[in-house]
Structure formats: structure tokens, C-alpha cells
Amino acid sequence: MENVLSRRQLLQLSVAASAASVSRNSLFARGRGIRVGVTDWNLKLASQPEALGLAKRIGFAGLQVSLGRVPVRGQLPLTNSRFQLLYQAESMKVEMPINATCLDILHVNFLKSDKLALQWLAEGIEATKALEAQVMLLPFFNKGAIETPAEKEYVADVLREFAPAAEKAKVILALENTLSAADNAWIMDRTRSKAVKVYYDTYNSHKAGYDIYKEIRWLTSKRIAQVHFKDKGYLGEGEVDFNRVVRSLADADYSSWANLETPSPSGNVEADMRRNFIFIKGVIERAPKA
């Protein structure tokens, strides 16, 4: 990317990015209640600016972007300042805010055990700040899952170490895992920082056997950074009752972003995402108003 952009182009993008910041802030200001976004990886456009336009065309209000899972010359794609400018310019052009990032590389370099993950964490905080996303998802799954008390304690201590940098950057470090709400709260409390919260995934927690409706209300908006709406297959046809989810979020005083992290059963990503979007918007619009 850096080999094809001239200084003049970079200046133009920098100006566009500044304008994009104003545009994004106005978009956020207009939002009321739960705002529905989508993940770029479920659009099959992870770390690609084209995801912004597709999300807009489907009808979403925001996009969660992957910072990249494969380093290029030792750098994640979206930690590259020139690539960030491209994203910011595209965000302004299509009027699509970036509402969160995902430190996707933690699926490869596990934060619970890999020292290289510490480098990615530091760089991810700065990238999320540059993109004005404010929330960075930290995934802990499969071989990277937090499974033992020692791993839970280690992760909490790492996050406590990085929390001041996140606070300074105004970035929330959001845990997504298969732990219970109580275990996640234990980690948050140990960090002693409001910059560490949970990224609550409806299907992951349901599949792990937790009462997701109770957990959402127990965590409240003070501990939930953002939410993934997800189920097995199409929303409304699986195991999660999204009417109860939305009511639970209301009880938790949650009124921020919910990103769809949904599969595409038919293979037609745009059609399936539009179907899920229409469903969940209907659920939210029919929910009792406070």
C-alpha cells in the first residue's frame, strides 16, 4: 500500500480523514438506542475498505473491522497509518462509521501464552485510537481459550499492565471468550480499570451453557462494551430468543452497538446479511420503549 501512494495523495487522504472524523461524530450523535452494525469478516471482506460500502448498501449503521490476522513485513494491515487513512476516507465517503476493531491476530498468537501478543496488543490500541473506533475486541477461543485459573490470572495481569495505555487512548479492551459473566467480571475487577470490559456474544455464551438473558442483566451496560448478535443459522430460527435478548439489554440499560456476526447459510453473503438485518431491526423496533 505504501508504495503506491504519493505525498499528495497522502495529504488528500489526511484532509479527508479529518472530515471523516466530523462525519462519524455526527452519525454517532444521531444514533438512539441499540445501533446495528456488522463485522467485516462475516461480510467476507476482513481488513478490506470495500466492506464499508457493502455494509452501507445492506443498511447497517456501523462496521467492526479486523486489524488483520496475517502480518505483512511484521505489521498488521490496519496498524499501517497509510492504510488507516484509506479507511477513514472511505468511511467518510460512504458515511459508515467504524464502531469497533478486532485484534484478530490473537487467534494465532494467544494472549494467554505468547509474548508476541503483547506487541500486537500495544499496536492494536494505537490503531483503534487512530480509527476512532473506541472498542477493540480481544478474542480467546480454541487453543487460545482461557481454561485454567492461572491463565485467567495471567490475562488479567496483562490487561492491568496495558489498561493505562488504553485509558489514555480512550479505547476499551473488550474480552470475548467462553467464560461465564462472573469469571469475566473477576478479570475486569483484577485489572482495576474501566477500560476493560466484556464483548458479549449471544451464541458463544449460549452454546457454553450460560443463561445469556440473566448474564446480560447482571453485567449491565457498565461491564458490556459491545454485543455480537449471533445464532446457529439465521437469526430468529435458531436457539437464541432475540426478543428476550433485546429486553435483557434494555434491563441492563445498554444502548450502544450490536454487531451481527452471523454466518451465510445460503452462500449469498449480502442476501443473508440483509435477511438477518431486517429481522433484528424488526425485533428492536417492536421492543417496548422505556
Q: What are the pLDDT digits (tens) for 133-171? A: 999 999 999 999 999 999 999 999 999 999 999 999 999
Q: Is the pLDDT of residue 16 over 80?
A: no
Say if 2 falls within a structural domain: no
- Side-chain-side CA neighbours of residue 195 (13 Å): 21
Q: Structural domain tally of the chain? A: 1
Q: Is the pLDDT of residue 92 over 90?
A: yes
Q: What is the DSSP string of 71-129?
A: -BTTB-GGGSHHHHHHHHHHHHHHT--EEEEE-GGGGTS-TTT-THHHHHHHHHHHHHH
Give the amino acid at 91: S
Q: Evaluate whether 149 touches 190 at the Cβ level (below 8 Å).
A: no
Which pLDDT score, from 0 to 100, does residue 10 have? 46
Q: Is the pLDDT of residue 45 over 50?
A: yes
Q: Is the pLDDT of residue 68 over 80?
A: yes
Domain range for 234 is: 7-286
Residue with cell 501464552: 113
Instruction: List the CATH number of the domain containing 89.
Output: 3.20.20.150
Say if 36 falls within a structural domain: yes
| Secondary structure letter of residue 289 according to DSSP | P
pLDDT: is 2 or 256 the higher one? 256
The rounded percent of the chain whose pLDDT value lies above 90 is 87
Q: State the helix-helix crossing angle for 181-191 and 149-169, rounded to 10 degrees.
A: 60
Q: Evaluate whether 62 touches 101 at the Cβ level (below 8 Å).
A: no
- CA distances to 101, 119, 168, 229 from 260, rounded to whole Å, are 14, 28, 29, 5
Average pLDDT over residues 92-109: 97
Q: Evaluate whether 36 touches 277 at the Cβ level (below 8 Å).
A: yes
pLDDT tens profile 184-233 = 999 999 999 999 999 999 999 999 999 999 999 999 999 999 999 999 99
Which pLDDT score, from 0 to 100, does residue 133 have? 96
Whole-model pTM: value is 0.89
Q: Is the pLDDT of residue 14 over 60?
A: no
Say if 162 falls within a structural domain: yes
Q: Evaluate whether 258 touches 62 at the Cβ level (below 8 Å).
A: no
Take residue 208 and report the three cell numbers written for it: 457454553
Say if 1 falls within a structural domain: no
Residue 95 exposed, middle or buried by CB count within 10 Å (0-12, 13-18, 19+): middle
Which pLDDT score, from 0 to 100, does residue 13 have? 52
What is the overall mean pLDDT for the chain? Answer: 91
Q: How many residues does the chain have?
A: 290
